Each structure stands twice: as structure tokens, then as C-alpha cells.
Amino acid sequence: MYTLIDRKDVTPESVWFKIKAPEIAETCKAGQFVMLRSNEKGERIPLTIADWDPEEGWISVIFQKAGASTYELAEYQKGESLQDCAGPLGIPTHTENAGNTIVIGGGLGIAIATPVARAYKQAGNQTEVIIGARKAELVFNEDEIKDFADELYICTDDGSAGRKGFVTDQLQEMIDSGKQIDTVFCVGPPIMMKFVAKVTEPYNIKTIASLNTIMLDGTGMCGACRLTVGGETKFACVDGPDFDAHQVEWEETMARLAAYKDEEREAMILYKKEKECRAEKMKGDKGDN
Amino acid sequence: MTTERKPRPRIIRTKLPMPTQNPEDRVDNFAEVPYGYNEAEAMLEAQRCLKCKNQPCVSGCPVEVPIRDFITLIREGKFMEAAAIIKTKNSLPAVTGRVCPQELQCESKCVMGRRYQPVAIGNLERFAADYAREEGEEIPELPKSTGKKIAIVGAGPAGLTCAGDLALHGHKVIIFEALHEPGGVLVYGIPEFRLPKDMVKYEIEYLVKLGVEIKLNFLVGKNKTVDELLNEYDAVFVGSGAGAPRLLNIPGINLVNVYSANEYLTRVNLLKGYLFPEYKTPVKRGKSVVVIGAGNVAMDAARTAKRLGAEHSIIVYRRSRKECPARVEEVHHAEEEEIEFRFLTNPVRIIGDELGAVRAVECLQFELGEPDETGRAKPIPIPGSEHLIECDVVVISVGNDPNPIIPRTTPDLEISKWGTIVTDRNTGKTSKKGVYAGGDIATGAATVIAAMGAGKIAAKSIHMQIMGIEEAEIENI
């Protein structure tokens, strides 16, 4: 069992867990992920490790409440335990000799962009960070990133924080300013990563995308996470999660991510029904007293 | 004058068939297909054994189960004793009684089989194991602890067998398993209707009672390397399996709802996708499911699809029925369940709809030509025979490659060009001192019992090495 040392709501849509997992914290590196399962009936959920401390023996993850499984996971409170947590999985992000680097995190991707950007910086690269979200209340980690990044740019769709616009607008502006950019790393919704790749491609800027595909085991056993990169089939769990963003077949990747839309809806309906039942029951119990 | 003759025992020529669930009923549930013998049936079948002195059947068993002796005990009604004697050699009899290809092993050597049908050894083994489980069996007395520690990588058939044998020698054994449940292919691959998971669980719990420790969610190669384990343990056995699915190099292979057999079966078996949404892992319930390949795993996938509600569950195989790698019994069960077979047919591409989901498989018809290098007739495509099979789910079941994590993270370990760990088949020794390997990681994808046999061989040589026993003394242990 894996105890929740702490948990908090990072934004109205996302939750931060600090999990006791000494064996994972000991060997973990930026860009790697864990497979989390809340209980016997739960899904194995792949989550990138947001932060970790080998001395204190914990890792943290941030996840978005997107479907029944993540809503259920979000209900877990400090002191409670998760059934399973396996990792660190995947190949760590290569940060050596990246040169002038821009790390882009969109939406929940901010959680992953943070440790990756820190790793780029620690490897001696000039590192600037762009984070983007729909609105101000979905932006997080600004202070943490400011602590180490050479520059932080914030973009929101509605302009309620930072500049009004997409992360790609900020990126394009930086390219247009004639700034030397050697590496771009992006993580976030696939549609954002696709457009980041489109922006950098004409300039031949090396662009890495961190893929959060559907996964089952996370160890190369099933191929649920597969995608086409440069015409070849790759497994995000063991060959990734980082890939050359210019080589990824984005349409296919997005289609595969949406493979269980109908089932997710069905699971969500059941989850809501069960939650209502529980609430009713609690009301009833109180009434009896 | 007549001399009184001793009446000759009546020879029952055929195996006592096992009662099974009706095909019409069973395609709607995941419960086990055969029911197993009852006590009277088991005793009756046991009477067919000729009690051969030289026991050819045992030579056909990779783990050398004392077949004649356990069958004799069943014949005498001593069922618990029968189970106990099996367990001296085989830690997982409820598993092997169900999934071993007995027709190619013990039963193929049975003297009865020369003229009639062989004794139903597998059915009897299953009976004894089930009986003992239901009655509750005692743990054998264990030898004094030797103080030696062995690490085992992977809680599949090879690792579990190796662990059981080493525990019986008094060694401390820890198994490291990457998934959240022990059992390997027994829990993620083989379906409930062929091998109920409660039975696997029970046999593993028995090993835990023998003192075997299982550490779940632990990835050797990631959390700790084999080299790090070697610093802490007296020996390491690698049984990490053939977990990497082979796919086909055809257009459309990455369309939505194209599964590897591993993924399809893992969703259903390990994560209980057939109970979605109560269990949270979904699996696509296709109306028309095409399974490519004709091995045991392909049969499992096709029969699973039927149980998930497929109107058509279709096996596509490029050779003919004769060459099907699946066990005869599995093909038979599949046919009973109205699985459709398209022999001499091979996919050339998978076609998707506007959402990127599979809609059909385009296939070519083949005919059999001259024998190829494997001695089997080579299938030759018939020009212009392209045709579509409409479907909404495709399962690729054309085999697995060895899991690459240990080979990639362990220096000085000799690896073959197929990605398997090179071992001495008589000892399980690898090129690295103190490291042993067996099962699919050493041989490439094979059977449960072959992996168990390899686990057993390795256990023996690990025991000899860490206790400093010489080859010459082997007969005495």
C-alpha cells in the first residue's frame, strides 16, 4: 500500500498527491512516470512524476479530474492509501547539452514541465518556460518555476493571467525576435503539442514532445500506448514518453487517445450515480440520529 | 475338465470424458468450461492406469510429476496423499492440470495410448489439486533455514516454480513482480474460463505459506538492477517472460480498436474489463472481431470476444487447419462456440473509418505450395483474391518477443539475436556468474509447463551452487 502523505487541490480541476514510495523516489529522474491504481477495481493510471525526494522517500503527482477513475482518485484523502504504485517507468528526459531551451507546459502539462525544466536548468542549459491554461485559476506552479527558470511566460486563452493567447503565440514571438533557440520541449494536450511542432518545424528547431498515451501495464507488454513516429511503431511506455515532435503522427495519436470516449461516458454516469447514492445514504443516516 | 481361469480385467478403451458447460450457455459467461471429475469418476479413470514399472509418462513431464504413484493413490481413494505427492514436484498442479498440452507430453508416452486412448493424466492431476484445495491441505515440514537468499525476477510460471523448489530446500526466496498481481501469463493472459484466477491465487498463496515472499509493483531493471540484486542475494533467477507483443507490419496497424492479444487479454483478465464499468478498465465490445493468428492465445482471444458479445468472432490464419499451432482441444472448444475460421487467409491492411477506428481487414487468399524450411507447406498468395472482412475490433495474435528490460539493463549477460537470454539448458546458468534464467525469456514464447520445467532445473542448480554441492553428489539430494 502507498500512503498519501499529503494532498491538495492545485486548481479546481487538478489534484496534487504526495505519496510515500521510497523505492521509486530513490531512482526516479525527470520525465519518468508511475502507474497508479487506487483500489482493487481501479484502472492502472499513468501519471508523470511531478517531484520527488529520495531522502524523505516520497514522490508527487498532479492529475486532472477527467473521467470516473480520476474523479474517484481525487477523493482519496491525506493518510489514506492507494493500492498500487509502480515506477519509475519510461526513459528520463535527455537534458544534457540541450543548449538554449524552451520548455512549454499546457494545462496539466505544467505539472510535468516543472521538473523537466528544472532538470534542463540543472544540466547547465539556459532554460525559459512558457506555461498556458484556459484561465488564471487553472495556472499553477508559477512561483516554483520562477525559482529556477531564466524566464517564465504565462499565457491564458482569456487573458485573465499573463498574455492573452496560446503558448504557440508566445513561442512564435520568441522565434521572430531572432532569439537563439536550440531545443523546445513541450507537454500538454496533444493538439497543443501538434501546433508547437508546426511552429518550430520551418526553423528546424529540435522539438521534443512528452506523450501521455493510454497505457495498461506501462512496461512494454501490451502496446496500448503505441504510436507512429517517423513511420515506425513505438511504445510510449518503453521507447518514450519523449519523442521527436516533428516525427509523431498526431492525428493517429489523438484518435487513439479518444478510443474509449463512449466507455468513459458510461463510467462517469455510473460514478455520479454511485456518488449520489452515497450522499443520499449519508443524509439518511444523519436523519436517523 | 475345465480349469478355472482368472477373469481378465476389463479394459476401458477410452478416457472418461469430462463434463463441460454447454457451448450455448458458456458463450454468455466467463465461468470455467470443463467441470472436472467427481470422486467416483476420478477413481474410475485411475483404474485405467497400467502402473508401468518404467513409467514412460514421467519422462514426458517437464517437471517429472510421479504420475503412476499419484494415480495409484487416487485409485485407492487417497486423494489428499495424491495431491501431496504431486506437490513434491509441481507447485502449480491446478494450473498444469488445466493448461498443459498433455497430449504432447505425459499422455503421449502412456502405454495405454499405444492401442487405446491414454489415461487422462491431466484430468486426474486437476482432480487431485482441486480436491486438496477444497479440503484444505497441510504445509509440508520444511527443512531448517539455510540462511541463503535468492532473488527471483517475475512471478510467472518459471519464477513461481523456481521459488517453490528453493523454498522446499530451506532457502529464503523473494520474487520481484512488475505488475500488481503475481502469476504472470496465468493472470494476465489465460482467460478465466480456461483457468479460474482463484485457483492461481490459491496455488500462489500456498507458496507464500512455504515462506516465499512476493514483492509487487517492483521492476527489476528500473527500481533495482540485476547487479544490485547480486550484491544482496546469493543468486538471481530471471523469469521475466516473453512480454513484448509482435505486431504486423501492415498499414492500419495503429488504428483505434486494433489490439495486441496481450492488451486485449490483459484488459479482460488481469483488469477484469468484462465487468466494466464496475471494474474501471474498459475493453471494446466488438460486434465483429477478427483475430489474426491460430495459436492458443488466438483461441483465447476469439473465445473471449464471443463472451464479450461479438456476433462474429473470426480467426484469420494464413495456413490450413492442420498447421494450427493451438492445442486440438482449444480448437475444438472454439468450434463448439461457433468461432469462425478463415484458413489460408492473410491480412494485407487494416482499413479505418473517418474517426481512425478499424472498419475492415483486407485479406488475401492463399493456397498451399511446396514445403518451406520448417517442413510445412508454404502458403502462396492467389493473385486477385483480395477481399474485405468487416469488423470493429482486430486482435493481433502472432506471438511475443522476450521482454527487453532485463537484457537492456544487465551488462555481461549474453543475449541471442532473438533477444532471449542465453542459458545452458541443463542448468539454467547464464553467462553472468550467479545469474540464472528460464522460461520464455530464455526460449522465446513457449508453454507454461516448459517454463515451469526450466524454473525447476534452475532451482536445482542454484541449490547446488550456493550449498557447494558437486555434480557427483547430486543423486543423494
Shared domain for B257 and B355, answered yes or no, is yes
- Span B137-143, mean pLDDT? 87
Is residue B286 predicted with pLDDT exceeding 60? yes
- Establish if B4 belongs to a structural domain: no
Distance CA(A20)–CA(A2), nearest Å, equals: 6
Residues of A in contact with B184 (CB under 8 A): none
Percentage of residues in chain B having pLDDT higher than 70: 97
- Establish if B365 belongs to a structural domain: yes
- Find the CB nearest B260 among A68, A222, A258: A222
Tell me the pLDDT band of B8, cut-offs 50, 70 and 90: low
**Residue pairs between chains A and B whose CB atoms are closer than 8 Å:** 124
Shared domain for B276 and B335, answered yes or no, is yes
Arithmetic mean of pLDDT over chain A: 93
Shared domain for B359 and B379, answered yes or no, is yes
- Establish if B3 belongs to a structural domain: no
Closest approach of A26 to chain B, Cα-based (Å)? 8
Q: What is the DSSP letter of B224?
A: B
- Span B312-321, mean pLDDT? 94
Please provide the DSSP assignment of B1-33 as one string: --PPPPPPPPPP-SPPPPPB--HHHHTT--S-S
Residues of B in contact with A233 (CB under 8 A): 247, 253-254
Residues of A in contact with B243 (CB under 8 A): 219-221
Distance CA(B150)–CA(B458), nearest Å, equals: 12
B170: cell is: 530451506
Shared domain for B412 and B392, answered yes or no, is no
Residues of A with CB under 8 A from a CB of B: 23-24, 26-27, 37, 41-44, 68-69, 72, 83-89, 216-217, 219-224, 226-228, 233, 238, 249, 251-252, 255-256, 258-260, 263-264, 266-267, 270
Query: Helix (H) and strand (E) counts for chain B?
Result: 19, 16
- Establish if B266 belongs to a structural domain: yes
- Span B112-140, mean pLDDT? 93
Shared domain for B261 and B387, answered yes or no, is yes
Question: Are A267 and B180 in contact (CB < 8 Å)?
Answer: no
Any A CB within 8 A of B178 CB: yes
Nearest to B33, CA basis, from B22, B46, B47: B22
- Span B327-344, mean pLDDT? 93
- Find the CB nearest B278 among A27, A41, A216: A41
The ipTM (two decimal places) reads 0.93
Tell me the pLDDT band of B472, cut-offs 50, 70 and 90: low
Tell me the pLDDT tens digit for each residue of A2-17.
999 999 999 999 999 9
Tell me the pLDDT tens digit for each residue of B159-205.
999 999 999 999 999 999 999 999 999 999 999 999 999 999 999 99
Any A CB within 8 A of B244 CB: yes
Other residues' Cβ atoms within 10 Å of the Cβ of residue A247: 15
A152 DSSP β-pair partners: A129
CATH code, B225: 3.50.50.60
B381: left (phi over 0), alpha (psi -120 to 50) or beta: beta
Tell me the pLDDT tens digit for each residue of B25-84.
999 899 999 999 999 999 999 999 999 999 999 999 999 999 999 999 999 999 999 999
Q: What local confidence, expressed as pLDDT, does residue B138 receive?
A: 84
Tell me the pLDDT band of B476, cut-offs 50, 70 and 90: very low
Shared domain for B408 and B390, answered yes or no, is no
Amino acid symbol at B49: C
Is residue B305 predicted with pLDDT exceeding 80? yes
Is residue A288 predicted with pLDDT exceeding 60? no
Tell me the pLDDT band of A205, cut-offs 50, 70 and 90: very high
Shared domain for B394 and B279, answered yes or no, is yes
Domain that residue B202 falls in = 149-243+401-476
- Find the CB nearest B355 among A221, A223, A255: A255
Q: What local confidence, expressed as pLDDT, does residue A289 receive?
A: 47
Q: How many domains does chain B have?
A: 3
Tell me the pLDDT tens digit for each residue of A223-266.
999 999 999 999 999 999 999 999 999 999 999 999 999 999 99
Shared domain for B65 and B160, answered yes or no, is no
Any A CB within 8 A of B180 CB: yes
Report yes or no: B71 and B97 within 8 Å, Cβ to Cβ: no
Closest approach of A36 to chain B, Cα-based (Å)? 10
Is residue B345 predicted with pLDDT exceeding 50? yes
Residues of A in contact with B188 (CB under 8 A): 217, 221
Question: Are B282 and A270 in contact (CB < 8 Å)?
Answer: no
- Establish if B76 belongs to a structural domain: yes
Question: Are B244 and A220 in contact (CB < 8 Å)?
Answer: yes
Shared domain for B180 and B262, answered yes or no, is no
- Span A219-223, mean pLDDT? 92
Percentage of residues in chain A having pLDDT higher than 90: 91
- Span A148-163, mean pLDDT? 94
Of B380, B398, B416, which closes a domain? B398
Tell me the pLDDT tens digit for each residue of A20-65.
999 999 999 999 999 999 999 999 999 999 999 999 999 999 999 9
Distance CA(B447)–CA(B26), nearest Å, equals: 25
Segments in B325-447 forming alpha helices (H): 328-336, 405-409, 440-443
Arithmetic mean of pLDDT over chain B: 92
Which B-chain residues 404-443 have CB contacts (< 8 A) with chain A?
404-405
Shared domain for B100 and B86, answered yes or no, is yes
Determine the residue among A71, A217, A221 to mutate to test chain B binding: the one whose Cβ has the most chain B Cβ atoms within 10 Å: A221
Determine the residue among A219, A232, A249 to mutate to test chain B binding: the one whose Cβ has the most chain B Cβ atoms within 10 Å: A219
Q: What local confidence, expressed as pLDDT, does residue B283 receive?
A: 96
Is residue A283 predicted with pLDDT exceeding 50? yes
Is residue A287 predicted with pLDDT exceeding 80? no
Shared domain for B411 and B358, answered yes or no, is no
Question: Are B218 and A23 in contact (CB < 8 Å)?
Answer: yes
Strand order in the sheet with B312-316: B258-260, B393-396, B288-292, B312-316, B340-342
Which of A272-286, B183-197, B362-376 bottoms out in mean pLDDT, i.e. has the lowest? A272-286
- Find the CB nearest A222 among B218, B266, B282: B266
Shared domain for B163 and B111, answered yes or no, is no
- Establish if B306 belongs to a structural domain: yes
